[in-house]
Amino acid sequence: MPKLAANLSMLFPQLEFAQRFAAAARAGFRYVEYQFPYQWRADELARWARDAGVQVVLHNLPAGDFAAGDRGIACLPGREREFREGVERAIDYAKAVGCPRLNCLAGLAPAAPEHLALLVDNVRYAARKLGAAGLSLTLEPINTRTVPGFFLSRSAQAIEVLNAAGEGNAFLQFDFFHMQIMEGDLARSVERLLARIGHIQLADVPGRHEPGTGEINFDFLLRHLDALGYSGWVGCEYNPRGDTSEGLKWAHPYLS
């Protein structure tokens, strides 16, 4: 049975972030993830998770200034020092909350060799630092309809970077929402890439809402993951179409 994780950055939007840990636990989640925790203290996050009885399983490396238009900095020349300092900060946060993996966002950039080479170098650097701390790294392709200009938009591109980086603790983050838009053929892709996948996320297409609101057959896909023997987590990274709890009816068989 897939291990579902509530993405606290998107679920329970009506609640203060500190309250979302307990809300996820009340909804039946044992695992949570979030995108960027850095506006809160690491010890606060650890306390909220501990008090709610949930495990944090993923968050992102610092990804620049979102308000200024950044969507990651790992492929951006001139920001190497910022990236490396962000890796150190993310490791501190991950260790404080007991989070086993961190996700890397490449950023917005044209498809040019210098951006690819820098991304490979930064992924290698981050993976080695995380490995020394007992953590793993994921690299996530993002669809270019939602985020125009994102440098890494297909699973094959991410695998190319991971192969070039050559680190055994660096994996693909496979988001059904992004990959359905960019590639489709989700079941075969997951089967083909299973050994390279470190984390999976879901949201339906086209609205990025909960399963059952769009075109993806999640009943089939989640059973398929189970049949393949996928033992990682599946993060529920979607915008609830209405009431979060009402919209979680699809998840009840997987949370019981």
Catalytic residue numbers read 140, 237
Gap between the Cα atoms of 145 and 139, Å rounded: 19
191: tokens are: 């089967």
Place of tokens 């300092």: 85
Q: Are 64 and 79 in contact (CB under 8 A)?
A: yes
Residue of 138, 64, 136, 47 whose CA lies nearest to 107: 64
**In angstroms, rounded to a whole number, what is the distance separating the alpha carbons of residues 155 and 116?**
14
Mention every residue, 6+ apart, whose C-beta is less than 8 A from residue 240: 10, 11, 13, 209, 210, 247
The tokens for 54 are 């949930």
Element at 56 (helix H, strand E): strand 55-60
